[in-house]
Amino acid sequence: MTREPADLTARVERLEQEVQALRERMGASRRSPTSLLPPPPVQEAAPRRRHVADLETDLVRTWFARLGALAILLGAGFAFKYGIDRGLIGPLQRVVVGLVAGAVFLLGGEAARRRRWGELAQAVTGGGVALLYLSVLAALILYGILAPGSALILLTAVSALGVVLALRHDSQALALVGLIGGFMNAALLGSEIARPLDVFVYLTALDAGVLWLAYAKSWRATRVFALAGTAIIFALNLGSAGIAVGLVFATALWVIFVLIPFVTVAGGRTLHPQGDISVMVTSGLAYLAAALTLLDRNHSEWQGLFTLGLGVVYAALALIARKSAAKDGPLPISMAGLAAAFVTLAAPVQLEAAGVGVAWAIEGALLTWLGSRFEATRIRATGLLVASLAFLNQLAVVADVYRPARLLLTGASASLVVTIACLYGVAFIYGRTKRGHELERFAAPGACAAAGILTLAWLGAEATEYFRRLHPPHGDTQDIELAISAIWGIYAVALLRVGVSGRVRWARLFGIVVFAATILKIAAVDVWLLDELYRTLAFMGLGALLLTCSLMYNRLATLVRQDDQTSKAKGDKL
């Protein structure tokens, strides 16, 4: 009885093994033999070589159609002018003829599209849109049949029709044909255009259609052409435009081109740096140039404030772009770059030489702090660049025009103090900021060196002017040279003290450099210019400063060694 369960268990295990083996054989037999073979290699299609017949077809079907439509458009423009010169038909009849001709062209283009003659349909349709533009423009400018408000409505309708037809034909070429015709209308009638207001209304309506195209299609050529045409025609009419009219329409056109990258992103398309971003940047620069030109007539005192306000607007747009586009994409970065550029440009436009340096120094420190706060390397780099401009500006002021009437108690002295403090602030921020780029390790020492050089130049100029007033007309050379050497030595001691107590290695190194320059000056210049008393004072003072520094190093040697060990552990060279 005990053997029967064991025998049954063994038989069940053998049966399960046999069933499994049968299943594997059946699966192998059902599998197609060809499935075990590797797939045949995919042969790449040989590049199609264009035949002469293809070139002939492109030339006749595409370019003949486009050039033909353009020629008829030019002929229509000259016909309008001929009608004006000869008085053959009345103004209303001329406009009606142009509108009818444009409608006929549009119907012909639609018929060609239904027959699948795509190139001919696009060219004829583009010519029809341009004829409609020409007719409405003539009714507004030449004949005065339409008021500017009515013309704006009709021109906007024609722009919308051109956009719809370009989308219907899915043709960037058709959109370009319509734009070329639209901008050419103003060029053909340029000698007859009397009111810039009419031209600006026309441009606004035309560019509104371009904005719609930016939302619907990634046709970058239309935006570039529209910006170029708008800038040229606006510039040609800017001289005769009033300040209010010019600023209103310059702002309206600028808003259209600024919105292009935003509507492109809203339409689900990727921004192109060489297309969309370039158009946005160029339009901002063109708008600033037009506004400054208009304000220069009677309100030049507002130029700097306008530039500053435009920079603030671009800063706000940059924040909006960070939410609507990629955080580190080209749009917010370009907007922020324009904001920084305009804010920087506002200072020399509005302020005097000394004020420019102060404004740049404050902006540089603020940008550096923002870049550190938000861990944005590009913003920090921009702040460092602006601070460098402030340093160069103030150094030029000290060298050329700095003549203080009182020692350390003038507005120019205060501006230099603020600039120096901002440069030290930039050095401090970079010294406490995590590096985003390898080159940033030179930022803090460089800013500190710039602040030190400006400090020495400023105090030297103060001492020189003081002794010139004390001993007119040129001052006592011995007093001036001894004072400068003393200033350099005291400043070197202060740097070493800050570098040792604060464990800032580059401050110590810069202090040593200043000390070396002081010793070299005394040995090469002062020893030959000073008499015995001044020479004695110079060498005794220098010796006292050197002994003080040596004593300070010995007393605080532990801090110096700790800083050196930390720098070696981090791999810093400075």
**Cβ-count burial of 166 within 10 angstroms (0-12 exposed, 13-18 middle, 19+ buried)?**
buried
Q: For residues 62 and 85, give the distance between their C-alpha atoms in angstroms, rounded to a whole number.
A: 35
Q: Kindly report, residue by residue over 369-382, the tens digit of the pLDDT.
A: 888 877 778 788 88
| pLDDT the model gives residue 367 | 85
> Mutual orientation of helices 172-188 and 118-141 as an angle, nearest 10°?
30
Provide the H-helix boundaries in 170-242: 172-188, 196-216, 220-238
Q: For residues 162 and 297, give the distance between their C-alpha atoms in angstroms, rounded to a whole number.
A: 38
Mean of pLDDT values over 47-71: 56
Percent of the chain with pLDDT over 90: 5
Report the candidate in 389, 339, 338 with the shortest Cα–Cα distance to residue 359: 389
Q: For residues 31 and 35, give the distance between their C-alpha atoms in angstroms, rounded to a whole number.
A: 7
Quickly state the pLDDT bin for 37 (edges 50, 70, 90). very low
| pLDDT the model gives residue 491 | 86
Cβ within 8 Å of residue 2, ≥6 positions away: none
| pLDDT the model gives residue 421 | 92
**Assessment of whether the complete model's pTM goes beyond 0.95:** no
pLDDT beyond 60 at 565: no
The mean of the pLDDT values for the chain is: 76
Please identify, among 194, 220, 245, the residue that sits at the C-terminal boundary of a domain: 194
Specify the range with the lowest mean pLDDT, choosing from 99-103, 204-208, 266-270: 266-270
Cα angle vertex 441, ends 436, 447, to 5°? 115
For residue 89, the enclosing domain spans 62-194
Please identify, among 172, 194, 216, the residue that sits at the C-terminal boundary of a domain: 194
Cβ within 8 Å of residue 98, ≥6 positions away: 76, 80, 131, 132, 134, 135, 138
pLDDT beyond 80 at 340: yes
Q: Are 280 and 310 within 8 A, CB to CB?
A: no
Cβ within 8 Å of residue 61, ≥6 positions away: 117, 119, 120
Specify the range with the lowest mean pLDDT, choosing from 369-383, 415-429, 550-564: 550-564
Q: Which of 28-42, 251-265, 391-405, 458-472 tops mean pLDDT? A: 251-265
* CA distances for 450 relative to 386, 411, 506, 546, angstroms: 13, 21, 13, 24
pLDDT beyond 80 at 544: no
| pLDDT the model gives residue 43 | 46
**Residue with tokens 């500017």, as numbered in its chain:** 148
Domain membership of residue 382 (yes or no) is no
Quickly state the pLDDT bin for 313 (edges 50, 70, 90). very high
Q: Which amino acid is at 42?
A: V
Domain membership of residue 231 (yes or no) is no
| Structural domain total, the chain | 2
pLDDT beyond 70 at 424: yes
Q: Are 294 and 250 within 8 A, CB to CB?
A: yes
| pLDDT the model gives residue 254 | 93
pLDDT beyond 90 at 563: no
| pLDDT the model gives residue 89 | 64
Q: For residues 311 and 388, give the distance between their C-alpha atoms in angstroms, rounded to a whole number.
A: 20
Domain membership of residue 523 (yes or no) is yes
| pLDDT the model gives residue 569 | 47
Domain membership of residue 15 (yes or no) is no
Q: Are 199 and 251 within 8 A, CB to CB?
A: no
| pLDDT the model gives residue 287 | 92
SS3 437: coil
Please identify, among 174, 194, 214, the residue that sits at the C-terminal boundary of a domain: 194
Domain membership of residue 149 (yes or no) is yes
Domain membership of residue 442 (yes or no) is no
Mean of pLDDT values over 132-137: 80
Report the candidate in 365, 381, 382, 483 with the shortest Cα–Cα distance to residue 420: 365
pLDDT beyond 90 at 252: yes
**Cβ-count burial of 287 within 10 angstroms (0-12 exposed, 13-18 middle, 19+ buried)?**
buried
Q: For residues 337 and 349, give the distance between their C-alpha atoms in angstroms, rounded to a whole number.
A: 18
Domain membership of residue 343 (yes or no) is no
Measure CA 343 to chain center.
13
Q: Kindly report, residue by residue over 273-287, the tens digit of the pLDDT.
A: 666 778 888 898 899
SS3 571: coil
Q: Which of 136-140, 168-172, 234-238, 404-408 tops mean pLDDT? A: 234-238
Provide the H-helix boundaries in 48-171: 52-57, 64-86, 91-114, 118-141, 148-169
**Backbone torsion region of residue 159, taken as left when φ is above 0, otherwise alpha when ψ lies between -120 and 50, otherwise beta:** alpha
Cβ within 8 Å of residue 264, ≥6 positions away: 214, 215, 218, 271, 276
Q: For residues 176 and 162, give the distance between their C-alpha atoms in angstroms, rounded to a whole number.
A: 10
Cα angle vertex 404, ends 304, 455, to 5°? 80
Provide the H-helix boundaries in 217-302: 220-238, 243-266, 278-298
Domain membership of residue 553 (yes or no) is yes
| pLDDT the model gives residue 35 | 44
Q: Are 223 and 260 within 8 A, CB to CB?
A: yes
Specify the range with the lowest mean pLDDT, choosing from 10-19, 230-239, 459-468: 10-19
